[in-house]
Amino acid sequence: MRPSARRWLPLAVLLAVGLVGCAPEGGGGVQSTKMGTITSRGKLICGVDGSLPGFSFVGSDGTYSGLDVDVCKAMAAALFGDPGKVEYRNLNSSERFAALASGEVDLLSRNTTMTLSRDAAGGNALSFAPPTFYDGQGVMVPTASGITTLKALAGKPICVESGTTTELNLADRMREQNIPYTPLKFQTGDQTYAAYLQGRCVAVTSDRSQLAGKRSSFPQPDAHTLLPDVMSKEPLAPATVNADPVWADAVRWTVNTLFQAEELGITKANIAAKVAEAKANPNQADLRRFLGVEGEFGKQLGLPADFVPKIIAAVGNYGEIFDRNVGPGSRLKLDRGVNRQWKEGGLIYSPPFR
């Protein structure tokens, strides 16, 4: 059947990795098979959701935008100096790990929760970059339903996307509180929210940011309310495969660059001035190292020496990315919350660039 072709992707790619792949990816050293592949291909292949406003969304003009998309762009800017050298692949929650494991995508930047089993070599064997969004699972209900607590959902159908951590958290929380419920599982977010909007489910559960994002694209966003309950921790992080630590490091420090730039007050607007300032002042060693004016950070990571200025010039710092996509500058209008810089009491913290 044609319609099912896409659904057998996990099989196809896993068999492909086993059957066609010859040499295992090289680990250790500064050699990275993955980065070699990306460089010779001339573009980064990035796995995204593609239908989630604020994180990754295809606009009416066919261009991708969102926080997850900006991470892809930052990575492309670090590698090629050009944020446009990215090919996006829309992946649903069931396809994503197989697509990454098989090498169909180089980088998974798709609101993916970092968990032990996904990280562990005996589990999904992924390697996570620092979380780019600290989230928690929430529940959305129609305001008119008058539901304000989880208890009020007893015996009622709840829509959830299959293959997500939310599916398991929902089972755990409801079991803990002894609330019987009916999970209705759909393969994609679009189907899940369509069933919710059609009134098949009394509630829909997902990451709170995702609920807010989807709600912003509903015909009547005001008619839906997020329950105050936060059911889980959902640190959403970009991921690569365990097998290539060199590539994983390049991704990790690209994300840290976004955090560090915000901490240092370096923005898309002032990056050129900052670089000029660093070049003119030999005693500003921290800034010179960070911007690649001196030192070998780029070389150590296998990236160009000036990867930091290229990233910031392309997408700006983390604060700018947040505001533009999910914060005050977007339709989602999410509060920074725990996603503030550590100096302001948040969790966004880059290890030192030394």
Contact footprint for another protein (CB under 8 A): 1-4, 7, 10-11, 14-15, 17-22, 24, 93-94, 97-98, 101, 117-118, 121-125, 154-157, 159, 162-164, 167-168, 170-172, 174-175, 181-187, 191, 194-195, 198-200, 202, 242-243
Q: DSSP characters for 196-263?
A: HHTTS-SEEEEEHHHHHHHHHTSS-GGGEEE-S----EEEE--EEETT-HHHHHHHHHHHHHHHHHHH
Element (H, E) at 287: helix 285-290
Name the residue nearer to another protein (CB basis): 136 or 163: 163
Check the CA dihedral 273-275-279-283 and report its sign.
positive
Shortest Å distance, C-beta 259 to another protein: 29
Name the residue nearer to another protein (CB basis): 21 or 265: 21
C-alpha dihedral, 195 to 221 to 167 to 186, nearest 10°: 20
Shortest Å distance, C-beta 14 to another protein: 5
Q: DSSP characters for 58-114?
A: E-TTS-EESHHHHHHHHHHHHHHS-TT-EEEEE--TTTHHHHHHTTSSSEE-SSPBP
Name the residue nearer to another protein (CB basis): 194 or 223: 194
Q: What whole-number distance in Å separates Cα of residue 106 and Cα of residue 115?
A: 20
Name the residue nearer to another protein (CB basis): 179 or 305: 179
Name the residue nearer to another protein (CB basis): 191 or 341: 191
Shortest Å distance, C-beta 157 to another protein: 6
Shortest Å distance, C-beta 253 to another protein: 24
Shortest Å distance, C-beta 156 to another protein: 6
Shortest Å distance, C-beta 293 to another protein: 40
Place of tokens 């396809």: 95
Shortest Å distance, C-beta 278 to another protein: 42
Token pair of 266 as six digits: 């370096």
Token pair of 253 as six digits: 């420090």
Q: What whole-number distance in Å separates Cα of residue 34 and Cα of residue 105?
A: 10
Element (H, E) at 139: strand 133-142
Name the residue nearer to another protein (CB basis): 158 or 258: 158
The secondary structure of residue 15, as a DSSP letter, is H
Within 10 angstroms of residue 285's Cβ, the number of other Cβ atoms is: 14
Name the residue nearer to another protein (CB basis): 200 or 333: 200
Shortest Å distance, C-beta 121 to another protein: 5
Sequence-distant (≥ 6) Cβ neighbours of residue 253 within 8 angstroms: 297, 301
Name the residue nearer to another protein (CB basis): 225 or 330: 225
